Structures are given as C-alpha cells and as structure tokens.
Structure 1
Amino acid sequence: MATHPEVPGEPTQTGTALLETATAAIQGFGPLNKIHQHLCAFHFYADDMTRQVEAHHFCAHQNEDMRQCLIYDGPDPDARLIGVEYIVTEEIFLTLPDEEKPLWHSHEYEVKGGFLFTPGVPGPIQRLELEKVAKTYGKTIHFWQVDKGDSLPVGLPQIMMALTREGQLQEDIATSVEKRFGVSFQKEKENRAYMAGLAHGIHPLANAAGKGLQTELREVGL
C-alpha cells in the first residue's frame, strides 16, 4: 500500500491552478499522451528483498519490442512519481552486454503467478496483453524511497527487482492489494496456467544473477 508521506511545501494556490489549466489547453503532452496501460506489480530493492513496494506502472510503447513506464506509489492523482521502468522483449534483452543483464529482471513468474495485473480490466482482456509481458525483461530504477516514509526523493537511485519465485511476496502487502483492487492472485494464477514463458528460459544473468546489487556513489577525478 502506498505510504503517501507528507511532501513539504505550501498547498497549490488558486493562481497556480488557473495557470496550469491555461497552459494545459495550449501545450501538447506527446509522451504522456502515448501512455495506454496501467500495470500494478511489486518491486523489492536489489540489495534487500524485505523492502517491498507496490508499484503502479503507466506505460507507453516505443515500438513492439520496447515500452517505457512511469512508476507511481498508487493510482490516485496525488500519487508520488517514484521511478521508471524500461521493458524489452527477450530478443532485445539477449543482445545486451553480459555486464548489463544483471540489472534487468524477468516478468515470467509474476505474470504467470497472478501477481502482475491491469486494474479494472476484465481478466480475459488483460490476459491477452500479459501473455506478451510474460516474455519480457524490465530494468527498474526508483528515486523515491516511500517505504521509508521519505517526504522527498532523497538518496541514491535504487535498482529494483521483481518476484521470481513462491514465498517472496510479503503476505500483508499481497492481502492489502487483493482487497483494495478486488483481485485474487491464486485465481488469476490458475487462469494463466496456459501461458508460455520466455522461449530460452530465464537467463542466468538476469535478476541480479541471483545475488544482491547495491547502488554506490564513488568520487572520481574530473
């Protein structure tokens, strides 16, 4: 569930809101207008699996093999923009250098396990799209550690990972999402049993190669 820490600052003034309305009527928002999909999933920090967050992805296709997503801590208008995710097909992932692959996570388990879903979309329709997502990899970076209650996006960007096996998702987080969105992960898992996964299997270097990854800042000479 989204933490929604209080963001420091004064409430938006009427003048600011009116100006935003006026400029919105004039300007174009091309990249945002391409967003066509809302995915709800779960991420955990690459160096600490116990730190798990609910992640709402608002995604747009760059082409058939790549999509890019803005990640918020909830689906509501006041949600915090906490990160980004790039999603590519298996074919694209396999072209990446080996040193890059550990930064990417597979989606096969979380899709087939029923944990990744599109809120509000009827099951038969969302499964048509998720059949494709099950065969992809994602690279996710979070900038705002809302699980710590941070009121601003402080600290280093964090590499995030996704669920890859049974028993990883914390029960309280799972129960909260199921209740709020009226979904059943177990039922959806059964409905998705027919889905195929990655053609070449999950790459051994993906998902941090089964290890922990920590972001560090290092000074260098200029």
Structure 2
Amino acid sequence: MSATENITNEAQGNPLSTKSQLLETGAAAGQDFGPVKQICAHLNAFHVYASDPKRCVEANHYCSHLNEDVRQCLIYDSPASNARLIGVEYMISATLYKTLDAEERKLWHSHVFEVKSGMLIMPGPNGLPTGIWEEAETKEMEDVVGIYGKTYHFWQVDRGDKLPLGGPELMMSFTKEDQCPGFSELIGERDSRYGASFLQKREKRAYIKEPEIHEDADRVWKGNAQ
C-alpha cells in the first residue's frame, strides 16, 4: 500500500516501522530534549484565521517561559502523544507589546475575552481534585489576561489536510461571543472532553480585572488584519 493510501492519525503516510520505533526509543533514552522539558503549561482554546475569521480551530498550547515577559508555545491539534504539530504562538507582556511598531502590533491578538469567557482553559491532571486545580488555573489566568499573542498555523487540519500544505496562516483570537457562531455548543463539546465548564470558569474569573487592550491588536475584527 502506498503512502498516499495509508493514513495514520489523519496524516498521510505509512505507520512507523520497527526500525523507526527502535530509533525513537534509543533517542528518548540517550538525549536530553532540554527545550521541551521547559514546557510548563498546557492551554486549550480556539484560534481564528486572520484571512477568514469564519474559520476557527481548536488549539492545544504547550508553553514555556523564556523570561518573565516572553513565552513560546507549540500548538498541537490534540493532547494525544501522536498529535500533529500545527503551529506556534509567541506571547509577550503588554510592556513589550507597546515597544513594537504599529504594523507589527497588528499581527498580535489579546487574550482578555478568552480568559474572561472561560474559553481558555488549562486542562488538569488526572486524579487531582477539580477545585484544587482550578485555583491554580485561575491564578495562571491572572497573568495570561494581559499578554499578547502572535500565532501562525502551518497545518490546516480543520479543512482536512493530510499534510501541512501551503504557506503559514496568521491566526487571531475571539474578542466577543457573537464572533463565534454556536459558541456555547463549540466550547461545551470541548469542555465535555476535558471535564470542564466554561460557565463555571467564567464565574470564577469574574474578579480578574480586564486590562485595556491596545487599539492595534485584534485587527481581524477591525477590518484591516494583515
């Protein structure tokens, strides 16, 4: 069977050979993988295509801190061990965002609505009481609410692509509920998989102060995204 006929994990290609599996096992035992060991948070939300804001895709972020003002995240289509890497996101503080020039700022999006609406979650580990984890998650949201993200996706899994085809797509975030048709259904289905409730999270995060969003951010909703 050819690679074009044999589909594994929704990606075009043949299953891993025994040789590849052995090489993976050996590399895992002998190499350090320092950068990925710094990943300290798994965040789940939805990204919008700047080129077509009617399209959105679920995004699992695996993030690490470069410093107090800069984070970098690998974006996967699922939390499974064989998930597809579909993009990257950089997150910076509002202080750094204000140092960017006007054209650059248009490429970045805010996280205020994601946090306050309950759309953005930090899936909890199995076995830990929900209440304890949500306390930690809510404290994390206090930091995320004020930062800006710049995201590119390379694999358009929402349209069924079996390989990462075409150029990178700039992605944005939702800033209002009415921008996302079927918001409750979309987030509710995600919540059902993670044992979460965006409504409960929305209530729990009500105390978090909404920072002022820079006028240059979230350009997809202002008519001149690039």
If the length of structure 2 is used for normalisation, what is the TM-score? 0.88
- Specify the SS of the correspondent of 1:183: coil
From 59, 62, 67, the equivalent of 2:66 is 62
From 125, 130, 141, the equivalent of 2:152 is 141
- Specify the SS of the correspondent of 2:43: strand
- Specify the SS of the correspondent of 2:11: coil
Determine if the alignment matches structure 1 residue 207 to structure 2 residue 218. yes
Is contact 1:40–1:57 with CA below 8 Å preserved after alignment? Answer: yes
Of all paired residues, the percent bearing the same amino acid is 48
Instruction: Report how many residues are paired.
Output: 209
Q: Which runs of 5 or more residues in structure 2 are unaligned?
A: 1-7, 126-132
Note the C-alpha offset of 1:166. 2.0
Aligned positions of 1:86-97 closer than 5 A: 86-97=90-101
Residue aligning to 1:107? 111
Deviation string 1:116-155 (CA, Å, 9 cap, x unpaired) is: 0100162111111110000100000000000000000001
Is contact 1:46–1:212 with CA below 8 Å preserved after alignment? Answer: no
Deviation string 1:132-191 (CA, Å, 9 cap, x unpaired) is: 000100000000000000000001100000010122234242221021112111221111
- Specify the SS of the correspondent of 2:143: helix
Residue aligning to 2:207? 194
Residue aligning to 2:140? 129
Q: Which runs of 5 or more residues in structure 1 are unaligned?
A: 215-222
Determine if the alignment matches structure 1 residue 34 to structure 2 residue 38. yes
If the length of structure 1 is used for normalisation, what is the TM-score? 0.90
Residue aligning to 2:189? 176
Decide whether aligned partners of structure 1 residues 77 and 37 sit closer, same or farther in structure 2, where only a CA change above 3 A counts.
same
**What is the Cα-based RMSD across aligned positions, in Å?**
1.5
The one-letter code of the counterpart of 1:160 is M
Is contact 2:188–2:197 with CA below 8 Å preserved after alignment? Answer: no
> What CA distance in whole angstroms lies between the structure 1 residues aligned with 2:28 and 2:209?
43
> What CA distance in whole angstroms lies between the structure 1 residues aligned with 2:80 and 2:87?
16
Residue aligning to 2:128? none
Note the C-alpha offset of 1:212. 4.9
Note the C-alpha offset of 1:205. 0.7
Is contact 2:46–2:58 with CA below 8 Å preserved after alignment? Answer: yes
Residue aligning to 2:79? 75
Determine if the alignment matches structure 1 residue 156 to structure 2 residue 178. no
- Specify the SS of the correspondent of 1:92: helix
The one-letter code of the counterpart of 1:7 is A
> What CA distance in whole angstroms lies between the structure 2 residues aligned with 1:176 and 1:34?
30
Note the C-alpha offset of 1:56. 0.2
